[in-house]
Structure 1
Amino acid sequence: MPEEDANGKTVTIDGHRLAISHRDKVLFPGTDQTKGDLIDYYDRVAATLVPHLADHPVSLQRFPDGLDGEGFYQKDAPAYFPDWIPRVPFPKREGGHFLAPRIDSRAALVYLANQAMITPHRYLSPADDLEHPDRMIFDLDPPEGREEDAEVRRAALDLRDLLAELSLTPWVQTTGSRGFHVVVPLAGDEDFDAVRSFARDVARVLVRRHPARYTLAQRKAQRRGRLFLDVLRNAYGATAVAPYAVRARAGAPVATPLSWSEVEGGAAPRDWTMRNLLRRLGQKADPWRDQGKHRYRLDAHRQSLTALLDREAPAGEED
């Protein structure tokens, strides 16, 4: 825990004095969890969370008045942020740029929690090479109008098995919302178009194998109760919820990295919250701690993917 000044309103972390305000403000109505609870959570999880964030710019989802108030995404670090919070010049496709913050320390994480940042969303490319993602992501949510966890578990496992056929080992986390993210770490050789194309072709194989179960149709009306294999996040400027980030939802669920055996055992997207995640980390090491040691070059797997596509008959939705 940080060193607290006598007045209880400032803390010192890594030599930085942080003014802490309105700890008793309720951010999560229904559970009465406060801004102080959020600050304490991020302070205690920082040693695990910061390594997942340190090299990437983030977009901040803030709720100054709690979930009952109006929230917003903050991409551009304002001038009043302390100068020890790094900024990343992030070019816009339409011209110009914004200064994306980077969370590279426990002090930065606590400071932003005090700004009522509930969720940090991590960009898919590192700060030193924004044009080349270092992860490929599949976003899996249940079909519209359904909250059946078994469907997204099955999709995650089907996707894992398919990627294994390509000699790719994926990683999985709950989103803390309705589904799972399946992630393949990348060496950073391909641009976003190449990564998205590869991800789409992986998803096409799964749709061809299970056309009644999965779809790539972007329009909800065309999905007809099938689970959408969302690869659209693999794009310049897109983000994904960071591991161990609290979600801006009732009950303060947390996006939680899992082992595949936990998915097989019935893990659900909202099983972990701000109240029980720290106990989990006390009992189980971070399943994603070694993710950076396992990075892939997709071009080495393209021939195998093409062979799988050729082997499966096109699905009806491809007509």
Structure 2
Amino acid sequence: MTITIDKADKIFFPEAGFTKGDLANYYRRIAPIMQRYVAERPVTLHRFPDGIAGTPQFIQKTVADHYPDWIAHVRVATEDDTIIQPVIDSADTLVYFADQGAIVFHVPLARAGALDKPDRLIFDLDPPDDGTDFAPVVAAARAVRKALADVGLVSYVMTTGSSGLHVAVPLDASAGFDRVRGFAQDMAEAIAADHPDDFTTAHAKDKRRGRLYLDVARNAVNQTGVAPYSVRAKPGAPIATPLAWDELGDTDLGPRRWHIGNIFRRLGQRDCPWAAIDNHRQRIDKAIAQSV
């Protein structure tokens, strides 16, 4: 299918000069890899019809009336109602949404058909205070990885393309969100207790006192995280990029290290480090038993 990009030369990222056409081309090329991580998940769009410096800018969850019939969708129960959300099942869908001004794609930690049973657990790690030093984020990711490994869980890491890192744990979707989030909170509190000068679970910013917040709030029904390989609405068009753990030692590493101008050079040199993530789906009950 050929999707015509309306006003393809419109500048979407002024600092880098990337256009709407560049964005659409990126999503066309990345689709074979990105679809692994968004398949069967209702997607939330962050739309910027006039680019990151323009207005309006808005979040869209529901399928719009003007969407073509071939856009896949799923019913999602919310606290108050049931909504119809789109699902990305093809490169054409990604390109179509890019033409609609969608820059960022967010997905839940569970798949359609079992949206109350997560197959991912996420620790969201952002720099403390002014965010100029990325070293605390790297230290936190390593501490989380070790704590998870100590209870038998394999984890993966990703730059968010914004300010921090995500540590993700693939799960077998056998437990509900309450159990998964409770486990994540317990792990965060244990890590903070082992490193009281570096990390905290205090939600209130005035109680953190320069320590990095171990955030597990995304582990809840209908909460979302940025999709791997999604572009972020930041200068330079940075990308949420899966990493290998040894890349945390790279002195050039930062949350916006990769963008639409260099990501394919990276992927030409190495396979996606998350390619086998779904082969490591794990049972949370075993980890809970080992942590007691």
TM-score normalised by the chain length of structure 1: 0.89
Q: 1:198 aligns with which of 164, 169, 183?
A: 183
Give, in angstroms, the shift of residue 19 of structure 1: 2.9
Question: Are 2:207 and 1:216 equivalent residues in the alignment?
Answer: no
- 1:18 CA displacement: 2.1
Structure 2 residues without counterparts, runs of 5 or longer: none
Q: Quote the Cα distance in structure 2 between the aligned partners of 1:145 and 1:258.
A: 24
Residue type of the partner of 1:117?
Answer: A
Structure 1 counterpart of 2:43, one-letter code: V
SS of residue paired to 2:190: helix
Quick check: 225-234 or 105-114, which moved more?
105-114
Q: How does 1:162-173 map to 2 (within 5 A)?
A: 162-173=147-158
Closer/same/farther in 2, CA of residues 159 and 24 from structure 1, 3 Å limit? same
Q: Are positions 1:20 and 2:5 aligned together?
A: yes
Measured in 2, the distance between the counterparts of 1:205 and 1:19 equals 52
CA distance in 1, matches of 2:143, 2:65: 46
1:124-171, Cα deviation, whole Å (9 max, x unpaired)? 110121111110000000102232111101110111111111111100
Q: What letter corresponds to residue 262 of structure 1 in structure 2?
A: E
Paired with 2:107 and 2:269, the residues of 1 have a C-alpha distance of 26
- Give the CA deviation at 1:265: 2.9
Matched, 1:113 2:118: no
Question: Percent identity over the alignment?
Answer: 45
What is the CA-CA distance between 1:271 and the residue it aligns to? 0.6
Equivalent in the alignment of 1:57: 42
Aligned counterparts of 1:57 and 1:287: Cα–Cα separation in 2 = 24
Identify the residue that residue 32 of structure 2 maps to in structure 1. 47
- Give the whole-Å Cα distance in 1 for the aligned partners of 2:240 and 2:282: 24
Question: 1:59-88, CA deviations, whole angstroms, 9 ceiling, x for partnerless residues?
Answer: 001100111123111000101111111111
Q: Distance in 1 between matches of 2:224 and 2:34?
A: 16
Paired AA for residue 267 in structure 2: L
Amino acid at match of 1:28: F
Q: 1:29: how far off?
A: 1.4
Unaligned runs of 5+ in 1: 1-11, 307-319
One of 293, 302, 313 as aligned partner of 2:279:
293
Q: Please tell me whether residue 279 in structure 1 is matched to residue 265 in structure 2.
A: yes
Name the structure 1 match of 2:164: 179
Q: Counterpart of 2:3 in 1: which secondary structure?
A: strand
Q: What is the CA-CA distance between 1:264 and the residue it aligns to? A: 2.7
Alignment of 1:111-190 (within 5 A): 111-190=96-175
Quick one: which amino acid aligns to residue 79 of structure 1?
D
Extract structure 1 runs of 4+ deviating beyond 4 A: none
Take 1:168 and 1:18, find their aligned partners in 2: how far apart are those partners?
42
User: SS in structure 2 opposite 1:73?
Assistant: strand
User: What is the letter of the counterpart of residue 67 of structure 1?
Assistant: I
Q: Does structure 1 residue 77 correspond to structure 2 residue 68?
A: no
* AA matched with 1:227: L
TM-score w.r.t. structure 2 length?
Answer: 0.97
Q: Work out whether residues 131 and 163 of structure 2, in 8 Å CA contact, stay in contact via their aligned partners in 1.
A: no
> What amino acid is the match of 2:100?
Q
1:66 to 32, 45, 51: 51
**In the alignment, does 2:244 pair up with 1:254?**
no
Which amino acid letter does the alignment assign opposite residue 82 of structure 2? Answer: H
User: How many residues end up aligned between the 2 structures?
Assistant: 290
What is the aligned partner in structure 2 of residue 4 from structure 1? none
CA distance in 2: counterparts of 1:146 and 1:55, whole angstroms: 34
